[in-house]
Amino acid sequence: MLTLAPASLVPLNVLVNEHRLYLPLVGGAIWIGILWEHRSYRLKPYWIIWGILLTVFSIQRQNIWSNELSLWQDAAVKSPLMPRVHVNLGMALQTAGQRPQALRAFAQAVALDSNHQAAQNNLGNIAYELALEEPDITRRQAHLAKAQAAYLKVLSIDANHKEALNNLGSLYLVQGQNLQALALYDQLIQDYPNFADGHYNRGQAAMRLNRLAIAQESFSASVELLPQVDGFVALGQVLVKANQLEAAVNAFEQAARMEPERPEHHYNVAAILLSMGEHQWQADQPAVAQRLWWQAHERLVKTLQLDSQHVRALRHLAELKRRLQ
């Protein structure tokens, strides 16, 4: 039992730290083995009872450890003064889709430690999500104000906190504060140049400000770091605005390859090819125009195979058939 004393008496700030018992339990295991070797048959019922009790306790703990939510609910009951417990409980509740309860858990963590960055950031995230779904303007603004206060609190502790910078920028975009958002994202990608979401969000802010060069640079960096459909679609959109149509086709083609069953990607390719064909027709290049239009025709057909009621594809295909006759 002496081997267990240091592990049992030294206080911890972490609820689950059972690995400290691995080595000390060796002595305890040896002691139990010796007792078992010299057991008396008169004591056999007590050994059986002890075994049954251990089994019951193990089953009970197994039920608690069956999922994240039950584990952290139990931990919150047994250690209500630990902010980390409430943060993890909030994350488990959020994963389970119980956002109001998650909000209360994060608020409890903040009440215990107002400088707990994870608690403040997650509190802000829940408030932000609730704001996006709130139809009432007054309550929506209240949620946004709560989210903003939480993010600013994190940044007052750590001015380079990646998640808080990114989240506050998203909040500014929702509020139409595009210049403030762009300034935050400039700082974010300077501190974290390999953060794909930061580049993508910076591109969104730049697009709203019609700063096409910055938007193109940002979306290009985003898809280079982390190729995602949304990034290629956004890149294609900014390239269309910049009249870089061939590059835009390539971006939308990449989106279509990644999500071939989504009709809008094929339609986007077709729409640009139609425009490119029109330019060639106006430039007295009918052969080039016809080739581009046939490529557009193929994409429109593909769009309608995936969505037979796609209104714009139906209209463009009808117009195109007349031109190709």
Residue with tokens 């039950």, as numbered in its chain: 70
Question: What is the rounded CA–CA span in Å between residue 72 and residue 90?
Answer: 9
Question: According to the model, what pLDDT value does residue 64 have?
Answer: 67
Buried b (16+ CB within 10 A) or exposed e, 293-313: bebbbebbebbbebeeebeeb
What six digits make up the tokens of 205?
A: 């802010």
Question: According to the model, what pLDDT value does residue 160 have?
Answer: 95
> What is the greatest pairwise CA distance in the chain?
108
Question: According to the model, what pLDDT value does residue 286 have?
Answer: 92
What six digits make up the tokens of 112?
A: 């215990």
Residue 257 burial (10 A CB sphere; 0-12, 13-18, 19+): exposed
For 273, list phi and psi in degrees, rounded to 5.
-60, -40
Domain with CATH 1.25.40.10 in the chain: 68-158
Is CATH 1.20.1250.30 the right assignment for the domain spanning 68-158?
Answer: no
Is the Cβ–Cβ distance between 205 and 173 less than 8 Å?
yes
Question: According to the model, what pLDDT value does residue 278 have?
Answer: 93
Question: According to the model, what pLDDT value does residue 18 have?
Answer: 57
pLDDT (tens, 9 = 90+) of the chain, 325 residues, equals 555 555 555 555 555 555 566 666 666 666 666 666 665 555 556 656 766 776 776 666 666 666 788 788 888 888 889 999 999 999 999 888 888 899 899 999 999 999 999 999 999 999 999 999 999 999 999 999 999 999 999 999 999 999 999 999 999 999 999 999 999 999 999 999 999 999 999 999 999 999 999 999 999 999 999 999 999 999 999 999 999 999 999 999 999 999 999 999 999 999 999 999 999 999 999 999 999 999 999 999 999 999 999 999 999 999 998 888 7
The structure's pTM equals 0.79
Which residue from 174, 170, 232, 236 is spatially nearest to 201, judged by alpha carbons? 170
